[in-house]
Amino acid sequence: MNTQEALQVLAQLRDQVGPGLDTELGTRRDAAYLKVANKADPPDFAVVWTPGDRWFSLDVAGGFSLVYIEEETPGDEVRERLDSYLSIGLRYLSGDRENVRSKLLRIPSVRVGSGGNAVTLRLSLVDEVRHLFGRRREG
């Protein structure tokens, strides 16, 4: 699947987004994306990204993300993964989330959902190192 085909899949998945949320669909750096933001709290957002295969990402406010990498992903798996990531993003925006910290290093992350359906979104490795050394992300 290429970027334009991924964009078409994201356009179809956009219909799952309910009222009270704004959406933005587009491409950037050879990747298709669907950004969903809370109208009541615009800085609160979730973005699903992919170039169509190779990698899939869900990014949310605060620099937390969920990334999956796999070469030559079949088209039906691309759709499933994008659907799953959008569902996680929508749960995040609905408030079904908890800020947590690792026990040893106290690195922050966000747990979306609960029980067996919980998914943990983490900072990038660079941001985790910055956190360890007391430096915060600029901007």
pLDDT, tens digit, 9 for 90 and up, residues 46-67: 999 998 888 999 999 888 999 9
Classify residue 80: in a domain, yes or no: yes
Classify residue 19: in a domain, yes or no: yes
The pLDDT score that the predictor gives to residue 19 is: 86
Number of domains in the chain: 1
Looking at the predicted structure, is the pLDDT value of residue 131 above 90?
A: no
Classify residue 89: in a domain, yes or no: yes
Q: Hey, which residues does 57 pair with through a beta bridge?
A: 49, 67
| Bigger pLDDT: 23 vs 123 | 23
Classify residue 134: in a domain, yes or no: no
Classify residue 124: in a domain, yes or no: no
Q: Hey, which residues does 97 pair with through a beta bridge?
A: 112
Answer for the pair 121, 109: CB distance below 8 angstroms, yes or no.
yes
Specify the amino acid at residue 105: L
φ, ψ at 111 (rounded to 5°):
-100, 120
Classify residue 102: in a domain, yes or no: no
Answer for the pair 19, 36: CB distance below 8 angstroms, yes or no.
no
Owning domain of residue 20: 3-97
Classify residue 86: in a domain, yes or no: yes
Average the pLDDT over 89-94 and give the result: 91
